[in-house]
Structures are given as structure tokens and as C-alpha cells.
Amino acid sequence: MSNVLVQERDIVIPGEILAEGMDYLPGENTYRKESAIYSKVLGLVSIPGRVIKITPLAGPYIPRVGDKIIGKVSDITLNGWRVDTGTAYSAFLNVKDATTRFIKKDEDLSEIIAIGDYVVVILVNVTSQNLIDLTMKEPGLHKISGGRIIHINSQKVPRVIGKQGSMISLIKEKTGCDITIGQNGHVWIKGTTNGEYLAERAIKLIQEKSHQDGLTERMQKFLEDKRV
Amino acid sequence: MIVNKETIVQLASVQKRLDNRTLTEYRTPIVIETGISWTAEGSARVRIGDNIVIAGVKLSIEKPYNDTPDEGGIMVNAELLPLSNPEFETGPPGIKAVELARVVDRGIREAKAIDMKKLCIIPGEKAWFISIDIMTINDAGNLFDTAGLAALTALKSAHFPVVDESTGAIDYHQKTKVSLPLVKEPLPVTVYKINGSLLVDPTLEEERAYDARLTVTTDDSKTVSALQKGGTAPLTIDEVGRIVDLASEKAKFLREVLNKALR
Amino acid sequence: MVYKKRLDERKVDELRPMEAKAGVIPNADGSAYFKIGNTVCYAAVYGPRELFPRFLQNPKKGLLRCHYSMMPFSGSGERIRPGGNRRSQEISMVMNSSLEPVMDLSAFPNSVVDVFVDLPQTDAGTRCAAISAAAIALADAGIPMKDMVSSVAVGQVDGTVVADLNYNEEAYLGIVSDIPVAMLHNTKELTLLQMDGEISKEDLIKALEMAKIATERVYEVQKKALKERFSRE
């Protein structure tokens, strides 16, 4: 006889019991001990079918192949750039993955990308030790100039983007800003000063209220009231 | 963040900031609480925006210095706790913490804010010594002003502990109703120069973008009791005049917030 | 003389009033404020972040590193000289071993999770408060943990087994023992166990049984703090 002890979208803490019995399966961020399933993080309960999983409310960014992130160049080596990903793991951008143009043997790499510059890049390789290789050669990847960069918790990135990008489209439309969201939580906003400020506040508001219902309506109202 | 640094510098030239404040506006809320440590003789927690600083006052009885046998003493220490900023490290205070402590110390000492003679118990033998410890809880930029405000608040809230008449020992568990002989209320205000504009209460990012800064401590009568210039850019005499005016106006504003909070 | 009525009139198994809040330090990845009686802690978690020196790195999992520190004005007597001492080093170490068993840092090889706990005022039970605060801050930081760790002291004052001794009870004239414990919520296993003083085996077991109820009360406060941080309006 199995018994689910929590409901969809309940907030649970680490170690909290979610279900007893063997009818349910432990999903992401949960574990089974004997016949019970427990949460491993602070998060929201989700029960798609017979699986119980937890969506974290906070937590570190875990690097994954294919993710687009915004990183900050921390060092220049003989053959490329070391990029701070905002996590415990820095990444490497090789010269050949940075640009399609030919780079001469003794060219000054800091003329292309300097230390302190931000870059929009994609993770092409992540090892078990979290050694990361990057590319900047695909469309939409580039060095950043102008505007502002803000940081949000990476767990909130999906909410800021919204279903099929609906939330971020709404913010772009109402603030007139270009916005690029890195999966690591760095967000680049570029527009008028007032537009950037409004977009920053909107994104911070989503971060705070991401677990609440009716977020899109709320955001619609916030942006209408403050429209620039 | 270089991107933000460039934007901050550009905006400053047109009197704007990333967070839409005016150049002379402090962040909100400003929250001042006292009595946050029962083990201290006086204590305060000050919050300016996301900046949070705690200050505690401890009193002890010691032998006066030889050159001032009829006076007590004061000492200010500051710790940039690793708890308050990911860039702060464990270990003995670095130069940033030392500068912070010394700027707050000079502002109080040189304003003669404490009547040192009233701290004397027996000339040449016994006097009260005041230790102020400043601890950062969250560094969001502008620690000088926040720490100065916390230190003054802690001094204002302090009471002498009971002293056993026969043994002369301090009973730290009991406080008297007697406050410290605080005769002035000096407060530091730091004015930052970015791309030719003068502004107060910088965020962490603005602190990384400044050309010069000047901390000006003024008391209730607008007398200047301490100055500390930082940064690599020079300041003109005209700028110093404008900075002192701005700092004493802002110190007056902070003093009003403080006295309203303590009422 | 038998210790029948507690100095502050609490019941034998009654804890001092507690207060907890998660997310109090905006710069930190996770943080907490925890108060029990007159003992107050701030805890901040930073990480997982890059670990230096490199020889400390573990390619299998991240390292947990706790730092306990009393503010100079937080002791009940004279000012404490800042900069740490043997006592704070030992407490940092036992905090680590109390929390480590529940942490799952396997997704963060070679990294470190730093936990800083600073106390602005104290009145006994500081290491227990530090552990309870750190556990809230670690959960708030979204670090995977198999269970919550809740900590409080139990002990014996003049023949009576009690929970959560305050400073006056620790200093009571007569036979006193102070036993700081940390317990895992689900399994009731102990991850911190120390003792000062004297106690019989029977009273020790009785005190540890009482710790089950006492830590459960701390757990409820920790859980409430974490849920309130994200509660719907």
C-alpha cells in the first residue's frame, strides 16, 4: 500500500519524506531509502505520473553541453582565453573556436577579447571533472559591449524565459531592450537607461516570485504600470 | 564587471546611475536598531539598502596613558567578515579593514566626540577605555558611511556596567543608567568622483568604477573632524569645497534619521 | 540540594525561545539568522566555488569548510580579541563533522562550499546554534542534503536531566554536565556528541533520549524558516 505525503507544488526541505511504499519512483533531487522517498533539496514538488521529483528553488548552476552562458574572461593563454562561468569551474575558449577569421601566429589575443570582457558562448564539452570547452562561432554568440549585466540564480532562468520564451518576449517588448539570458544566471540587458532599469527590476521580481502562481499576469501589470 | 563599469562611467557624465537614483540620494530603506547584542555595553545594526553593518561597544577599566593621566581612551577595530562578501578572506584584517577602522576612529577621536576626561576614574591609575568593533554582515558598497553610522549609534546606546565598589571588578551582567559622555555626533560621508560627477552611497559596482573618493566626517556644527582621500585621480580645491558641502548636508540627513530611530 | 526548578523556570525538556529566518544576507548563496535564548548566529554559505590551495581538491566530491567565529563583544565578560583561537578552531571542526554526513557534494568535484557563522551575542549553546543556523543556510543555498541536521545541548544539573542549558545552568554550583548534540531528523542518529562535566551512563542515555524531542523542536523552527522564505503571499 503506497501513500504520497505531499501535493503538487508543495515546498519541501532537504530530508523531508515525500512518499511511502514502492508504487512511486524517486525522480530528480530525491532518493529512496528502504520503502520511502525523500527530498534532497529545498524545492517544489512535481508528480508527473508515478515519478516524484523536486524542482530546486535555489542552487548552483551545473554545466551541461549545449547550454548558452555568459562568461567573463579571466585570463589569456597562448592559444585562447580562460572564462569565468560564475561557478566553481572555469572554462576554456580556444582561438579556433572564437572566430572564423584567420589569426596570425603572433597576434595579440587581448585585441580580440580582453581580460574582463564578457562573452556569450556555448558549452561544447564538459568532462566528469567539469573541465569545460566553449565555442563562440555559432550564430548569436559574441563579445558583449554596452548595456548592463545582472545576475540571477540559475535555477530561476527557466521562469525568466517562460513557456516558449513568452516571459522574456513580454519584457523585451515592454522595455524595448535586447536581452540575452545565460543558463548560468548572467543576464545581459541593452536598451535605453530607463528601459534597462525596468527590465532589471522585472527580472529580479520574477526571481523573487518565481514559485508563485499567476506570474505572467503579474508581470504584464508591472510592466504596464511602469511602461517607459 | 567591465560592461557595467563602462556604463556606470558613461551614465555619471549625464548625472544618471544604473539603479535610477539621483547622484546625491542614499539607498533605502535606512534601518537603525540598537541593543542587538546583550553582551555589549552598546550595540547597533545599521542597514542602508542591502548594506548591513553591526557595531558593538565594550568598556574596560585600564591604566591611563602616561601623557594623558586624567583621560580614558578609545579604540576602533573593523572586520570585513568573509560572511559578508565572497571576496573577503579569513585571517587578520587587510588594508581595507584597517583603513575603514582608522577613518571611523579619527572621525570620533578628532571631533572630541567623547569627553575623555569624564572617562577618568582615578588620575594616573584607572580610567574607562572604549572599544568599538565594526562587523560587516552584507557588503553592498559604501561601508565607510554605514560603519560610521553604526559606530556612532552603538556609542549613543551604550551604558556603563556596574562596578563592584569593594573589589573594583566590572560586573558585565549589569548595566547602570549612565550613558557615555558623548558631546558631539560626528558622521562620515564619502563622496565619490566618477567621470567628473560627484555622488554619494555607491553600490559595489560603482565602487569599482570611481576615479577619486573623499570621506569627510562632520559634526552637528558642520566642523570637519577627519578627511580621507582615496583613488588615483586628483581633486581640485573647488571640488573639495563642493564635496565638504555635500558631505555635511548628507551627514545632517543621516543624523536626523538616526535621532528619529532612537526616539 | 536537588535541582527541581530550573533557574529560568523552564520545564526540564523545554528549550529557550527560538527564532529563525532564511535568506538574510543578500551577497551569500544561502544564509540564515538563528536565535535561541540570548545566543544569536548569522550564517552564510558561499559556493560551490573554486578551491585553493589545489592539493585540498578532491576529484570525487566538493569539500565542506565551516568557519565559526564569535564577535569581539559577544562574550558575557570582557572583550574577546578578534582573530580566532583554539576554541573557535575546534568548533569549526566539529561543525564540519556534524554537517558532512548529510551533504551530497558529488556533483561538485574539486570545489569547496564555505560556511561562515558569526555570533553577535552568546549565552551558552553557541556550537549547537551555529550548526542549526548552518544547516538552514546550506539548504537555502540549494546544496543537496540527504537530511536536516538539528542541534541543541542536553545535560544534567545536580541530578536532573535537562535540555538546552543556559549560561547560568552551565555555571551552576554542583554536578553539571553539558552535552551538545546534533541529530539527523529521519534516522535520529547523532553527528555531534561532546560532553563537559560528569554524568552516569543511565543519565547519559536518558539525556540522549531527551535530545530526540529537543532536536525535533529545533527542526520545526528550521523547517518553518525555509518554507517561509518561499511561501506564497
- Residue where one domain finishes, among candidates A120, A143, A166: A143
Domains of chain C: residue spans and CATH: 18-228 (3.30.230.70)
DSSP states of A146-193 = SSEEEE--GGGHHHHH-GGGHHHHHHHHHHT-EEEE-TTSEEEEES-H
The secondary structure element, H or E, covering residue C35 is strand C30-36
Assess whether A18 and A84 both reside in one domain. no
pLDDT, tens digit, 9 for 90 and up, residues C166-183:
999 998 888 999 999 999
What is the pLDDT confidence band of residue A226, given thresholds at 50, 70 and 90? confident
Looking up residue A132, the CATH number of its domain turns out to be 2.40.50.140
Out of A15, A16, A155, name the one closest to residue C142 (CB).
A155
The pLDDT, as a whole number, for residue C230 is 87
What is the pLDDT confidence band of residue A22, given thresholds at 50, 70 and 90? very high
Give the predicted TM-score (pTM) of the model: 0.97
Quick one: residue B163, left, alpha or beta (phi over 0 = left, psi -120 to 50 = alpha)? beta
The pLDDT, as a whole number, for residue A105 is 79
Amino acid at A34: E
| Residue C108: pLDDT over 60 | yes
What is the value of ipTM here, to two decimals? 0.95
Q: At what angle do helices C126-140 and C201-229 cross, to 10 degrees?
A: 40
* Distance in angstroms (rounded) separating the CA atoms of residues A25 and A4: 11
Looking up residue A26, the CATH number of its domain turns out to be 2.40.50.100
For chain A, give the percent of residues with pLDDT over 70: 99
Residue A117 included in any domain: yes
Q: Is B20 on the interface with A (CB under 8 A)?
A: yes
Tell me which residue of B126, B112, B108 sits closest to B57, measured CA to CA. Answer: B108
Per-residue pLDDT tens, chain B, 263 aa: give them.
578 999 999 999 999 999 999 999 999 999 999 999 999 999 999 999 999 999 999 999 999 999 999 999 999 999 999 999 999 999 899 999 999 999 999 999 999 999 999 999 999 999 999 999 999 999 999 999 999 999 999 999 999 999 998 998 999 999 999 999 999 999 999 999 999 999 999 999 999 999 999 999 999 999 999 999 999 999 999 999 999 999 999 999 999 999 999 98
Assess whether A153 and A136 both reside in one domain. no
| Residue A227: pLDDT over 70 | no
Find the residue in C nearest to A15 (Cα): C147
SS3 C113: strand
Taking CA atoms, B101 is separated from B28, B88, B92, B96, in Å, by: 24, 16, 13, 9
Find the residue in A nearest to B1 (Cα): A116
Find the residue in A nearest to C29 (Cα): A59
Range of the domain at A7: 3-56
The pLDDT, as a whole number, for residue C213 is 97
Phi, psi of C35, deg, nearest 5: -130, 130
How many domains, in total, are found in chain A? Answer: 3
Instruction: Give the residue extent of every domain in chain B.
Output: 2-262
Inspect the interface and report whether the beta carbons of C141 and A211 lie closer than 8 Å.
Answer: no
CATH superfamily of B2-262: GHMP Kinase, N-terminal domain (3.30.230.70)
CB C218 within 8 A of CB C210: no
Distance from CA of B39 to the nearest CA of C (A): 5
pLDDT, tens digit, 9 for 90 and up, residues C109-163:
999 999 999 999 999 999 999 999 999 999 999 999 999 999 999 999 998 999 9
Inspect the interface and report whether the beta carbons of A197 and B18 lie closer than 8 Å.
Answer: yes
The pLDDT, as a whole number, for residue C200 is 94
Residue A63 included in any domain: no
Give me A149's grid cell.
549585466
Q: Is A193 on the interface with B (CB under 8 A)?
A: yes
Taking CA atoms, C166 is separated from A22, B211, C10, C98, C217, in Å, by: 45, 52, 11, 22, 17
Residue A204 included in any domain: yes
Average pLDDT over residues A208-219: 85
Inspect the interface and report whether the beta carbons of A194 and B19 lie closer than 8 Å.
Answer: no
Give me A37's grid cell.
522517498
* Distance in angstroms (rounded) separating the CA atoms of residues B146 and B64: 31
Q: Is A149 on the interface with B (CB under 8 A)?
A: yes
